[in-house]
Amino acid sequence: MSKLEAEFGETDYKILSRERGFAGFLKVDILKLKHRLFEGGWSAEINREIMVREGAVGVLLFDPKRDEIVLVRQFRVGLLNQIKTPWALELVAGMANLGEDLDQVAMREVKEETNCEVSKLIKICDYFNSPGISSEKVRLYLGIMDSENAGGVYGLDKENEDIEVVVLPYDEAISGLNNGFLANAMSIIALQWLELNKFNILKKLF
């Protein structure tokens, strides 16, 4: 058995109780559980809260002909008092409903947040956003598009979205990443992936 694989699985924890503790913009469940220990036996009863979220997608928009990256900027409550401004520069992103096709979610979010169309979606990776407190699983994509007419302010009024579309030369986006202007997991993972894979992506596209 590879050391990459966990020794424990679904039979090695017990959920003693689970109830909905809060249901608003966020949904939080309260759990009592125990699990097996690496040195043998079982843990004591553990109390945990988990934020319950369905899948999410993030899309790094890239125009390979113009060598430009399209990002979005919007207000983020989690950044209050954390950095100079809570208006964060990010990837296009959005939540999926249960059972919804993630490619379709990605295309929809690109249209809603930027009014742009994606000609090709390339899967980057799946990852768990914060598994210590959340069930959210994120799928990241590279979205190939034409950035010539990109720009403006978009978003859904019913979701209180106020989203600025920002077009950057590729090198400026990478510089912004390295200088802390893109300080969120989606953006860091996707831009670093593009740095590593850009040459091969361009070879396949042209």
SS (H, E, C) the chain: CCCCCCCCCHHHEEEEEEEEEEECCCEEEEEEEEEECCCCCECCCEEEEEECCCCEEEEEEEECCCCEEEEEEEECHHHCCCCCCCEEEECEEEECCCCCCHHHHHHHHHHHHHCCCEEEEEEEEEEECCCCCECCEEEEEEEEECCCCCCEEECCHHHCCCEEEEEEEHHHHHHHHHCCCCCCHHHHHHHHHHHHHHHHHHHHHC
pLDDT per residue as tens, the chain (206 positions):
789 999 999 999 999 999 999 999 899 999 999 999 999 999 999 999 999 998 999 999 999 999 999 999 999 999 998 878 899 999 999 999 888 999 999 999 999 999 999 999 999 999 999 999 999 999 999 999 999 999 999 988 888 889 999 999 999 999 999 998 998 999 999 999 999 999 999 999 98
Domains with residue ranges and CATH for the chain: 10-51 (no CATH), 56-205 (3.90.79.10)
Question: Catalytic site residue 68?
Answer: no
- Identify the pLDDT of residue 158: 86
CA distances from 119 to 1, 128, 152, 168 (A): 41, 27, 20, 19
On whether the CB atoms of residues 49 and 31 are closer than 8 A, the answer is yes
Active site residue: 159, 161, 164, 195, which one? 159
User: Model pTM?
Assistant: 0.92
Q: How many residues does the chain have?
A: 206
- Identify the pLDDT of residue 51: 96
- Identify the pLDDT of residue 83: 78
| Region at 67 (left for phi over 0; alpha for psi -120 to 50; beta for the rest) | left
